[in-house]
Structures are given as structure tokens and as C-alpha cells.
A and B are shown apart, each in its own frame.
Chain A
Amino acid sequence: MANPVVMMRTPAETALIERFAAEKASLPGASQARAEAFARFEAKGLPSKRIESYHYTDVRNLMRTVAPVANDAVAGETMTLDGFPRLGFTNGRWQGGDAPAGVTVVPLADAYRDGLAPGLGMGEATDIVVDLNTAFARDGVAIRVAAGAEARLHLAFSEKTSAPASILPRVIVEIGEGASLMLVATHQGPAGIAYQVNEVVELRLGKQAKVEHVRLNLSGDKAMVLSSVAATLGDEAELQTTQIALGGEVCRHQVFVTYQGENAKAAIRGATMLRGHQHHDTTLVVDHAVPHGESRELFRTVVDGSAHGVFQGKIIVRPHAQKTDGQMASNALLLSDDAGMSNKPELEIFADDVVCAHGATCGSLDENQLFYLQARGLPRKVAEALLVEAFVGEVLETVSDDGLRETLAGLVSEWMRARAVS
């Protein structure tokens, strides 16, 4: 039979290989992790649709060129949230800001030089996009929440570049035993600029630690955003991570959760609203490696225009991870004839005493519900908005902070209003 296909390197792959050679010496710390991650990339190249987990988002094909590292900082929007101490980031670089009590924040480079190692949050998973961040990341912060502390923190990422640029921040958060953290990350960037983000947030939850993580994607309309959340859960830890995505042109949001301690819980959620030619892929790997874990996934995707939504969720239950309880739901609403949605909820189960289920639905708004609302006097557009807002509202309502929840609901309403006008 034929020989295995040899993939030609794309210009982007070649550029990344050259860049690593050039920058290697000057990259701060973590040199072994960087070298290993880079070697995996070099062997496999950028993930293409031939790779099962990238079937719907062919990064190799989408990322034709690699933008240079961002070097200018023009004026741009930044968000503030009431009641949240704020750390500002421009083009991935920490601009300072005061950490609240019980929380220490150091620049990533310093943390690496002090011996902090990246990648632990990935468990057994490997992923080339995460590897690229590991290999190249200079910017970002390491955050440590002391045992027993309670804190809130807003990471305000604002990309301020006037030309295509690549931005690769990494945030490593260690949450000590019994500590609790509400971490909100907002991402904004300029319209019309094809900047590339590859961002990784590692959340390492100690015993009985609690984290509520909310990521708000308001990236620029030409941006390619690859974001990854890699979390490890200690005994009885509780993680909630929710992404609200409205921005970007091509986005892939990955969440890797590995259960290391027993009786841990994770809730992974997302509300995604797409229009125009946007492409958004949410890919989850929830790895129940130990017994008595619980996971809940709830994703709502609204697709308008000729946009395309993707949901891939994999629940793995390893041998001996008995009494695992995993429930996953992905629901999509298609609002236009050209909209598309691909759902791939997976179960990979090797232990018998488990309760796992997934459900996926895809369809348009329910005509009977619309008629009922219209019969009560709501114009069709208003009725549609009410139903769509309720649809994503089930994700938003899980956000515990009232102010943040209202901000998010406001963004969704705004999105529907913009739709009604167009």
C-alpha cells in the first residue's frame, strides 16, 4: 500500500520553527517544558482537520501566516467591573494593578525563573495549540491564592495593536486549600485587525478550593482567538468555568478538566452568539481519573448569518473512576438559513458504576412559542429576542455576581438589538 502521507510544512509552520530557533535563548525560564512542547509541535505540525479533535476547525488551514509579536500599543477599550480588583493586560503583557489580600501576583517570567512549571493543568491531555503557548509564552502572570483566602479578581485583557500581531499570554493560578476565587477575564481588541491570540489559563485547585471563572470574549471582528483553560481539581474542589463569547472571527475555546482528587465537582458552561462569518469551536475534555467526580456541562450556541458553531465535548471516565456522574448538554439555535452547527458530544467510559449522559439539540426557534408570544402582542422581533435571551439566559443566570450577570445580559440584548436593526 501507499506510503504514509508526508505533510508539507505550511508557511506558518515554517515561521514558527524559525521563530523558536531565534527566540529560544531569550525565552524566560521553563526551558525544558518549552523544548518538549515545541518538539511535539515540530513533529506534528499545526493541527489539521485530519486530527479528530480538530475536525471542524482546521487550524493548519486557517492560520496561513504567523503574525509578528505585538510591539505597539495604541489606544483601545478596557473594561472595569464593579467590585473586582483589576489587573490590566495590554497585548498580553501585565500592566500592573493591585492584588487583593491573600493573593500574590508575579509576572510569568519571574515565576518561571523561580521554578514554576507550566503544563501541569493538562493532566494526560496533550494539545498542539497549548504546546505552542507553552513553547512561546513570555507574557502573563502567575497568581497564587493563599490557603483559606477569599478573593475576586478581574483580568482585563485589552489588545491594542494597529497591525496583525500574535499575542501569547499564559496565566497560571494556584488556589490553595480551602481558598475561593472568583476570576473574571475580559478580552477586547481592535476591530478590523487580524491579530492572533493563543492564550492559556491554568487553574490548579487545591483541596476544597473553589473557583468561579468567567471568560468574556469580546475580541475584534478579525481576530483569531485560540484560548485554553486547563484545570486540575484536588479533593473536594469545585470549579465553575463559563465562557460568554461574542467576538472574534475564528475562535476555538478549549477546556481541559482533570480530576485528581476525589469528590471534586466541575461545571463547565458557555453561551456563544455568532453572526456574519464567525466560526466558534468549543472543545472540552473532562477527564474523570479518580472516583466520585461530578461534572455538569451546559452550552448554548446561537448562530445567525452564515456563521458556524462547533461543540465538541468529551467526558472520559477512566478505569476505577467509579461513581462518576457526568451530564452534558449542548443546545443550538440557528437563526438564519446559512447558519450551521456541528455538535459532537462524546462519552468514553471505562468504569461500570457511573451515570453519564449527554444530550444535544439543534434547531430553529419554536414557531408555537413565537406564535403564543405574538398572540400576546409581542412583535416577532421582540418575541425572538425574548426567546433567544431566555435560551442563553440559562447559562448567564449561573454567574453569581449580580453586576457581572447584568453586564453580560446587556451584551446579549445588545446583540439581539443589532440583529433586529440589520
Chain B
Amino acid sequence: MLEIKNLHVEIDGKKILNGLNLTVKAGEVAAIMGPNGSGKSTLSYVIAGKEDYTVTEGEILLDGVNVLEMEPHERAHAGLFLAFQYPLEIPGVATMTFLKAALNAQAKSRGEDELSPGEFMKRVREAAGQLGINPDMLKRPLNVGFSGGEKKRMEILQMSLLAPKMAILDETDSGLDIDALRIVAEGVNAHRDPNHAFLVITHYQRLLDHIRPDTVHVMAKGQIVRTGGPEIALELEERGYAEYLGNAA
């Protein structure tokens, strides 16, 4: 589903990704683990199309189509979703208004009719209920004054509603207490099926206790340096990242 080939990325002339290769198959839940500064967040931003980064070489293919030429919203319409590590606060824009605008934009890109207000409300309420989100929160401006856990839950709510085929979760576990972590993980697990894929980016192993990955990749110095099964996560938990900090090119 997602294929990244020889990706080189710079920001302000500084190299961050150095020929990264990664494949995530349909139905797969892949995890990327790595120390701080290994380029994990850069990777997620580049996949989603943030402007500040310069891709000097390589491709990112979603179902065989290179997304690098697409605008961020076109990538979203193509089925890419990024759950932000730091979701943005947007003062003055009610969460409900925002969700509606996002769903309508998606419908429009597919040439479908907009959801009726009734249908829209129903879907939002259902999804919010599953994630334990108080409906009152949806009336407030998006993420403004939300706690860290509330923001992350709101990301998962958006993921549920937009139903992307490829979802990237960037450090979604940071700032979450154990209950919130479980709710978020359940939200992800509910969408696991052969047509969807997930890329879970994390520093720690604990999220992976709740979202069991099929594959674990270790990232260091802008490359994937090791790929294997869930056992790698446990190993990292014990031994840390020290051995990967020295040997990457």
C-alpha cells in the first residue's frame, strides 16, 4: 500500500532522511521505533506533505501513485491520514464546523454528495461515543484548551470519520495516561482490516502493548536500520537504542 523508496530529505540544507526505504502492505500494522532525532517526525510530515521539507531524492508511493507532487489535501483525499504529534489549536473554528468541512471536502473529491446534517451528526456522535468524547467538546474551538489526552482522542475521532486507507500515528502515545492510551488503541484496533494499513511511530514500547504491530522497523540517523517482528520492540525496551546510534551510515 505504502512504498517509500530511497527517500532523501533536507530542511534548511540539513540532511534528515538519508535514503530511507519502507514498505507497508494492505492490512498491515507497522511500527517505527527510534531514538529522538532519528527523523521519525520528519518522515511523517514528509508523507503528509508539509512544505518546509525538501525532498532531494526518492519516491513515496501510495497504491503505486507517487504522492510527492500532490498538495497535502490531495494526499488526504487519496487516503493518507496523519495523527499529529502536536495537534494544532485553531481558535474560532468550532470542532463540529471543522469535522463537517473535512468530511465535505472528502465527499466532494470523490464526486459524492455532502452528508445530510442528520447523517453527519449521527456519525460524529457514534464515533465520539466510542472514544469517550463528551459531545460538549465538539462545540468548542478545535483543540483550543483541550488537554493532551483530549487532543489525541480528537485525532483518532477524525481518523474514524475520514476512514483513511493509510493512517500514520506520530507519537500518539506521548502525553497520554494509561486510560487514554487504551481508548486510543481501541480506536485504532477497531479499524484494523485487510483494506487498511497503519504506521505507528513511537519512541516507547508501551503503545505497542495495546496496538500489536505485525512489523517493527528501527529507525536511526534517517534510515531504517532493522526490520523484524514485535519481538524487536521488547528487545529495545530492555536494551535501549544505544547500539543503533553508532553503526548507521
Whether A and B touch (Cβ < 8 Å) is answered with yes
C-alpha spacing A273/B237, complex, angstroms:
55
Q: Quote the shortest CB–CB distance from A95 to chain B (angstroms).
A: 39
Chain A 366-395, CB-CB to B under 8 Å as 1, else 0, gives 111101111111111011001101110110
- B91 interface neighbour in A368, A375, A389, A390, Cβ under 8 Å: A390
If A367-B51, A386-B98, A386-B101 touch, whether A377 touches B162 (CB-CB below 8 Å) is yes
Which B-chain residue is minimally distant from A374 (CB atoms)?
A: B72
Number of A-B contacts (CB under 8 A): 77
B184 interface contact, C-beta 8 A: no
Instruction: Judge whether B92 and A377 touch: CB under 8 Å.
Output: no
User: Which B residues, 75 to 107, have Cβ-Cβ distances below 8 Å to chain A?
Assistant: 75-77, 81-82, 84, 87-88, 90-93, 97-98, 101-102, 105-106
Instruction: Judge whether A382 and B82 touch: CB under 8 Å.
Output: no
Instruction: Judge whether B73 and A393 touch: CB under 8 Å.
Output: no
In the complex, chain A residues whose CB is within 8 Å of the CB of B82: 375
Instruction: Judge whether B76 and A375 touch: CB under 8 Å.
Output: yes
Instruction: Judge whether A374 and B90 touch: CB under 8 Å.
Output: no
C-alpha spacing A134/B109, complex, angstroms:
58
In the complex, chain A residues whose CB is within 8 Å of the CB of B73: 373-380, 382-383
Interface residue count on the A side (C-beta < 8 Å): 23
In the complex, chain B residues whose CB is within 8 Å of the CB of A382: 73, 101, 105
- A371 interface neighbour in B51, B101, B158, Cβ under 8 Å: B51
B187 interface contact, C-beta 8 A: no
Which B-chain residue is minimally distant from A391 (CB atoms)?
A: B92
C-alpha spacing A57/B222, complex, angstroms:
55
B48 interface contact, C-beta 8 A: yes
Instruction: Judge whether B84 and A372 touch: CB under 8 Å.
Output: yes
Q: Quote the shortest CB–CB distance from B207 to chain A (angstroms).
A: 21
C-alpha spacing A379/B101, complex, angstroms:
10
Instruction: Judge whether B93 and A372 touch: CB under 8 Å.
Output: no
Q: Quote the shortest CB–CB distance from B248 to chain A (angstroms).
A: 29
B206 interface contact, C-beta 8 A: no
In the complex, chain A residues whose CB is within 8 Å of the CB of B88: 366, 368-369, 372
In the complex, chain A residues whose CB is within 8 Å of the CB of B97: 386
> Max chain A CB contacts within 10 Å: which of B72, B90, B105, B162?
B72
In the complex, chain B residues whose CB is within 8 Å of the CB of A371: 48-51, 72
B71 interface contact, C-beta 8 A: yes
Instruction: Judge whether A372 and B90 touch: CB under 8 Å.
Output: yes
Q: Quote the shortest CB–CB distance from B135 to chain A (angstroms).
A: 20
In the complex, chain B residues whose CB is within 8 Å of the CB of A367: 51
Chain A 327-369, CB-CB to B under 8 Å as 1, else 0, gives 0000000000000000000000000000000000000001111
Chain B 103-139, CB-CB to A under 8 Å as 1, else 0, gives 0011001000000000000000000000000000000
Instruction: Judge whether B90 and A369 touch: CB under 8 Å.
Output: yes
In the complex, chain B residues whose CB is within 8 Å of the CB of A379: 71, 73, 105
> Max chain A CB contacts within 10 Å: which of B49, B73, B93?
B73
C-alpha spacing A366/B142, complex, angstroms:
15
C-alpha spacing A85/B86, complex, angstroms:
50
In the complex, chain A residues whose CB is within 8 Å of the CB of B141: 390
- A376 interface neighbour in B50, B71, B76, Cβ under 8 Å: B76
In the complex, chain B residues whose CB is within 8 Å of the CB of A368: 88
If A386-B93, A390-B93 touch, whether A376 touches B87 (CB-CB below 8 Å) is no
If A375-B48, A376-B158 touch, whether A393 touches B92 (CB-CB below 8 Å) is yes
In the complex, chain B residues whose CB is within 8 Å of the CB of A378: 73, 101-102, 105
In the complex, chain B residues whose CB is within 8 Å of the CB of A373: 73, 90, 98, 101-102
Instruction: Judge whether B92 and A376 touch: CB under 8 Å.
Output: no
Q: Quote the shortest CB–CB distance from B38 to chain A (angstroms).
A: 22
In the complex, chain B residues whose CB is within 8 Å of the CB of A386: 93, 97-98, 101
If A377-B162, A380-B73, A382-B105 touch, whether A372 touches B87 (CB-CB below 8 Å) is yes
In the complex, chain A residues whose CB is within 8 Å of the CB of B48: 371, 375
C-alpha spacing A195/B158, complex, angstroms:
51
> Max chain A CB contacts within 10 Å: which of B51, B75, B82, B101?
B101
C-alpha spacing A383/B51, complex, angstroms:
15
Using a CB–CB distance below 8 Å, which chain A residues touch chain B?
Answer: 366-369, 371-380, 382-383, 386-387, 389-391, 393-394
Using a CB–CB distance below 8 Å, which chain B residues touch chain A?
Answer: 48-51, 71-73, 75-77, 81-82, 84, 87-88, 90-93, 97-98, 101-102, 105-106, 109, 141, 158, 162
Excluding A376-B105, A379-B71, A386-B97, 17 further A-B contacts by CB distance (< 8 Å) are A369-B88, A371-B48, A371-B50, A371-B51, A372-B87, A372-B88, A373-B73, A373-B98, A376-B98, A377-B77, A378-B102, A378-B105, A379-B73, A379-B105, A380-B71, A390-B92, A393-B92
* CB<8 Å pairs between A and B, sample of 12: A371-B49, A371-B51, A374-B71, A374-B73, A375-B76, A375-B82, A377-B162, A378-B101, A380-B71, A386-B98, A386-B101, A394-B92
